[in-house]
Structure 1
């Protein structure tokens, strides 16, 4: 299971590092989302030592893969994101659209004949569109989000963005990176991580503030998310689907949040090839999940026979 959990963590990092689908969505597609949420909850609750050790071991295995995946993603994305924004955005749209039917397939028993909860999907769409339309970057074109302007106000903004982004990364639906894109912080955060990895520590204060926001976000939301999924799962799945559909809009608007703003992506700048590549990667992950399930079932059967 070490290799399997490494691969799971690696795939979550690839999703968390790009606007589109969240790491939580990938955990859904790969079939370990509930284990992930329960482990985070156990780690931050007053459960017995045994439960916390088990949770810590599971998250440690995922974490190794996540760190490796995040480092590789950042090194790649920081060099191509702004220069190939329309191609990369098309890739992200492929991630989103092709993930939606897989989430529906995974939770079909939960949402079947619960069509009265479709209102939650609409709410999810409206939430993302509203956040995108009324975000501080679009409403205040003079707002400077560069590292040279790292003031107390900027630090508070980064802290709050970190809290919100990690909540989205844990909850399947809208990606935390999509929210960072909306807030105009995606490129600065990615570039800052790359700079620190190359031993330029000047962006470290911003990353520390962002990291503290992430920790606070996890501690304040994980138990709420677990409770809602346990007691209102159908509504939450419809909300998740709505968030995913709605997140297509900020990805199209992503070029407007760059340091040098560009026009939103349209049919002329949309790349069908990259869209197909994004979809192929998502369906590849589904095949990986099937292989993991088959391998796990085979190991269980063999252990049962040997036992």
Structure 2
């Protein structure tokens, strides 16, 4: 009696992104790229607000799965082609183009604004991030009970811890840049965690923006290599959490975003210590409220576009 043949491995089904407008996805990418240059603001927050967070995590997972299959097989080339066909390129390619265009064109000007008008910029982005917290709260679904409140507290403490790191000035050697890039890229995936802020904490914010401005290919290639390593790890982790623990994950992300608001408090000393409101508090309040309003308008626009797309 012969053994039954082993079933053929399942072929990954092509992903159909909910956001199919290439121009809209390029604009979403530009927003992500823009905020990634600002210490204290996360590209993952923009992905949440613009409604592509889950799709982006799934796209990253499919792409890394193709890379893993290319390295380990079986049927490396054929299997990799099948997995690459499952990647939602209609979402990913315009998004990456928009991100690259924004980073390459606004990195210098944004850094100058943050340096020349720190309180004004922090107040504006404080409002933007505060207004964004409602998105994961809504996506968590339903009223929170004891376990969810506990997860929210854990997330808040984690956000506070990450944004309370003391600033240090490390030499941008390859072995310092590598782990910094791997950790900082997590901001693309974790709302509330700013890659720019983490780079600022270890003294690599200005060297990295300078490398972008001057097109330092060696620095950027090394940084990009380790950013990819970090991205692969965090994407696979987040996809698992979103698939199996979506509600709890959204609760934790909301807490992280609240805790991370510490880094955007307008009045800070040069060392990052928080200070009391200054005489310019009315202007800062107006800017923060304007930031909240901008995010809510963006959420409203996104929900209407999604409803219109679903009706077609």
- TM-score interval (norm. to shorter): 0.7 to 0.9
Deviation at 1:134, TM superposition (A): 4.5
Deviation at 1:62, TM superposition (A): 1.1
Counterpart among 121, 124, 143 of residue 155 in structure 2: 124
Q: How does 1:3-18 map to 2 (within 5 A)?
A: 3-18=23-38
Could you state the TM-score of these two structures normalised by the residue count of structure 2? 0.77
Structure 2 unaligned spans of 5+: 1-20, 70-78
Counterpart among 27, 30, 35 of residue 50 in structure 2: 30
User: Residue 144 in 1 paired to residue 154 in 2?
Assistant: no
- Measured at CA, do residues 167 and 274 of structure 1 come closer, stay the same or move farther in structure 2, by a change above 3 Å? same
Could you state the TM-score of these two structures normalised by the residue count of structure 1? 0.79
Distance in 2 between the 1:56 and 1:7 partners? 17
**What is the match of residue 185 of structure 1?**
204
Q: How does 1:180-259 map to 2 (within 5 A)?
A: 180-196=199-215, 201=216, 204-252=217-265
Deviation at 1:246, TM superposition (A): 0.9
- Provide, for residues 92-132 of structure 1, a one-character-per-residue CA deviation record: whole Å limited to 9, x for no partner: 21111111123322x142x5344422222211222232334
Distance in 1 between the 2:243 and 2:304 partners? 27
**What is the match of residue 52 of structure 1?**
84
1:34 counterpart SS class: helix
Deviation at 1:53, TM superposition (A): 2.8
Distance in 2 between the 1:180 and 1:69 partners? 19
Asked whether the 8 Å contact 2:119–2:266 carries over to 1, the reply is no
**What is the match of residue 188 of structure 2?**
169
Distance in 2 between the 1:192 and 1:163 partners? 17
Counterpart among 263, 267, 285 of residue 277 in structure 2: 267
Structure 1 unaligned spans of 5+: 138-142, 301-307
- Provide, for residues 261-288 of structure 1, a one-character-per-residue CA deviation record: whole Å limited to 9, x for no partner: 5764541165223323322332232133
- Measured at CA, do residues 251 and 87 of structure 1 come closer, stay the same or move farther in structure 2, by a change above 3 Å? same
Deviation at 1:39, TM superposition (A): 0.8
Asked whether the 8 Å contact 1:181–1:254 carries over to 2, the reply is no
User: Residue 293 in 1 paired to residue 306 in 2?
Assistant: yes
Distance in 2 between the 1:131 and 1:265 partners? 19
**What is the match of residue 178 of structure 2?**
159
**What is the match of residue 140 of structure 1?**
none
- Measured at CA, do residues 122 and 64 of structure 1 come closer, stay the same or move farther in structure 2, by a change above 3 Å? same
Asked whether the 8 Å contact 1:128–1:246 carries over to 2, the reply is yes
Number of residues of Structure 1 aligned to a counterpart in Structure 2: 276
Distance in 2 between the 1:120 and 1:183 partners? 28
- Measured at CA, do residues 108 and 25 of structure 1 come closer, stay the same or move farther in structure 2, by a change above 3 Å? same
- Provide, for residues 3-28 of structure 1, a one-character-per-residue CA deviation record: whole Å limited to 9, x for no partner: 12112212222232223442222222
Distance in 2 between the 1:76 and 1:280 partners? 24
- Measured at CA, do residues 131 and 32 of structure 1 come closer, stay the same or move farther in structure 2, by a change above 3 Å? closer
2:233 counterpart SS class: helix
